[in-house]
Chain A
Amino acid sequence: DAGVTQSPTHLIKTRGQHVTLRCSPISGHKSVSWYQQVLGQGPQFIFQYYEKEERGRGNFPDRFSARQFPNYSSELNVNALLLGDSALYLCASSLVGQGSSPLHFGNGTRLTVT
């Protein structure tokens, strides 16, 4: 069975540019979450979507936005990139958007901002 897939795997952008990251959840999973992981730290929550509706937003600026499509795939958009946005961006899917369902992560998109 296919796991969570993310694209692209690596990306290099310049300060001020815009980036779109994509995620396809495990088949049957309706909830998608986005996390930012800086080297040496745990994942930091950005967004959670369930059935195409935003269910949670972390402490990130409005430059960060996301959406979920009818097929449950998702996009994370970041505008006006800063050097500090360089990180591993992880997408995770789960069966439901509530309760104690474990997250299943993709291998992430490594974003480097120069």
Chain B
Amino acid sequence: EDQVTQSPEALRLQEGESSSLNCSYTVSGLRGLFWYRQDPGKGPEFLFTLYSAGEEKEKERLKATLTKKESFLHITAPKPEDSATYLCAVQAASGGSYIPTFGRGTSLIVHP
């Protein structure tokens, strides 16, 4: 069974204090790993897709990396507007349906 574990569950940072969020996964035949951002009361917003170990993607203060067992979302010099829940999802070929499995998320709060 595909499993996705995110850590920490919650993270509080001061503005400008860089850190990383972790997503570890167990899946046979990884097709893609996705990062989403979710603001309170809203649906998840797509950030990145990573396909293979060693791949990196960047967007503003966010950088996502991927190994064979985990992915990191690095946040450099965060601002209060980066406060949100960050969700990781993995997609594997399961009976041909490619259904992504989500982790529980990391709730990030950035204090000014």
Contact = CB atoms under 8 A, between A and B. Distances in A.
B96 A107 contact: no
Chain B contact-residue range equals 20 to 34
A83 B89 CA distance: 27
B49 A102 contact: yes
A43 B99 contact: no
Interface string A29-48: 00001010000111111001
Most B CB contacts (10 A, CB to CB) among A42, A55, A103 go to A42
B78 interface: no
B97 A100 contact: no
Interface residues of A, number: 26
Contacts of B24: none
B109 to A, nearest CB: 15
Contacts of A106: 43
A21 interface: no
B8 to A, nearest CB: 14
Contact of B44 (A48, A55, A90, A100): A90
- Looking at chain A's contact residues, the main secondary structure is loop
Contacts of A25: none
A56 B44 contact: no
A40 to B, nearest CB: 7
A40 B106 CA distance: 10
Nearest to A104: B46
Contacts of B97: 48, 55-56, 97-98
20 contacts: A40-B104, A41-B105, A42-B6, A42-B103, A45-B100, A48-B97, A48-B99, A56-B97, A92-B43, A98-B97, A99-B98, A100-B91, A100-B98, A102-B49, A103-B34, A103-B46, A103-B89, A105-B44, A105-B45, A107-B41
Interface of A: 4, 33, 35, 40-45, 48, 55-56, 58, 90, 92, 97-100, 102-108
Given A48-B97, A98-B96, A103-B46, 7 more contacts: A42-B4, A43-B102, A56-B95, A58-B99, A98-B98, A100-B32, A104-B46
